[in-house]
Amino acid sequence: MEDYQIFISYRREGGEDLTGRVSDKLKGLGYHVFYDIESMRSGAFNEQIFSAIDQCEDVLVILPPNGLDRCLEENDWVRLEIAHAIQSKKNIIPVMMRNFAFPESLPADIDALRYFEGVSASTEYFDAMIGKIEKLLVSKRLSADERPKDTNADFAAGVRFLNYKLYDQAQAAFQKALQTDISNPELYFYAAVALLGGKRPFLVNKSVIRQIEEYLQAAIAIGNQAIAHYLLAYVKYDFYRNKMLRTTPEYEQALAVAHHLEITEEEIRMLFELLNQQKPACF
């Protein structure tokens, strides 16, 4: 894994847009930032997250309104990230968006978050907010020679477009990225998501479904990640099964492999958020 300086923890619901802007700005200033949709690669999700936090000196926590409410759940990822950062004695900087307020009580493993010096987020005075964040950072700007080469710009742009539901732009970005990086399983996976265009597979043309399957088979051949098997199962279920068409292997086999590889509920939730669809009851 690359050597990061700043880890950004955030709640996608309400915090993603600001997180992307903060990440872009800090990288432009010369910091090496871990922002999960840009920085994740093959491997176990939790291992990458905790390893990235361990590397970083600073942890920014982007807090939209009600952003800590789900932290009552033991397996909530924002809670796990904050707890790991506190336990690891990282320099934590809460970035509090408008109308955010700390709950009266928080789980014991993250309650110390409220006592760290923080910054009020502002889109109107964005540069001033970044200046305040910089003053609280332990990390120092890297020189031009020290900065990592940005080889993932097209990949990152594609994921951003996906999150904004701009599927054609996302697909174009992933196609451009694949021209220079044909061995990245995530590129094939996200390209498959983009091809679905926010629709159920049932509503997608069969030729496009075939392309999606090719992308997912490439992702599986390179990385054999549970999430690629799971998406393949969903495509086979919704398209072939609901149209009563034959396919080999059947969706149940792909789904069984995904569970054998220990896909997590968080990964499943994130997938269906990207797909902009509801998870089938049988999944």
Domains of the chain: 6-136 (3.40.50.10140), 174-275 (1.25.40)
- Give counts: helices (H), strands (E), the chain: 12, 5
**Which of the following is catalytic: 81, 146, 267, 273?**
81
**Is the predicted pLDDT of residue 1 greater than 80, yes or no?**
no
- Closest-CA residue to 94 (of 125, 121, 55): 121
CA gap 235, 238 in Å, rounded: 5
CA gap 158, 164 in Å, rounded: 10
Mean pLDDT, residues 35-55 taken together: 65
Give the CA angle between residues 216, 221, 223 to the nearest 5°.
90
CA gap 275, 271 in Å, rounded: 6
**Is the predicted pLDDT of residue 41 greater than 60, yes or no?**
no
Mean pLDDT, residues 53-80 taken together: 94
Q: Which residue has the higher pLDDT, 161 or 230?
A: 230
Query: 84: pLDDT confidence band, cut at 50, 70 and 90?
Result: very high
**Three-state secondary-structure class, residue 225:** coil
Q: How many CA atoms lie within 13 Å of 13's alpha carbon, on the beta-carbon side?
A: 11
Q: Which residue has the higher pLDDT, 180 or 187?
A: 187
| Known catalytic membership, residue 81 | yes
Q: What is the pLDDT of residue 40?
A: 42
**Is the predicted pLDDT of residue 206 greater than 60, yes or no?**
yes
Two tokens, residue 82: 């904050």
What is the enclosing helix (H) or strand (E) of 10? strand 6-10
Q: What is the pLDDT of residue 16?
A: 84
- The burial class, CB within 10 Å (0-12 / 13-18 / 19+), for 258 is buried
Question: Looking at the whole model, is its pTM more than 0.85?
Answer: no
Q: In this structure, are residues 226 and 185 in contact, taking their beta carbons and an 8 Å threshold?
A: no
Two tokens, residue 249: 């292997």
- The burial class, CB within 10 Å (0-12 / 13-18 / 19+), for 162 is buried
Two tokens, residue 70: 């789900």
Q: Residues of 7-28 as b/e, b for ≥16 C-beta within 10 angstroms?
A: bbbbbbebbbbbbbebbebbbe
Mean pLDDT, residues 71-84 taken together: 92
What is the enclosing helix (H) or strand (E) of 134? helix 126-136
Query: 39: pLDDT confidence band, cut at 50, 70 and 90?
Result: very low
Query: 137: pLDDT confidence band, cut at 50, 70 and 90?
Result: very high
Q: In this structure, are residues 19 and 61 in contact, taking their beta carbons and an 8 Å threshold?
A: no
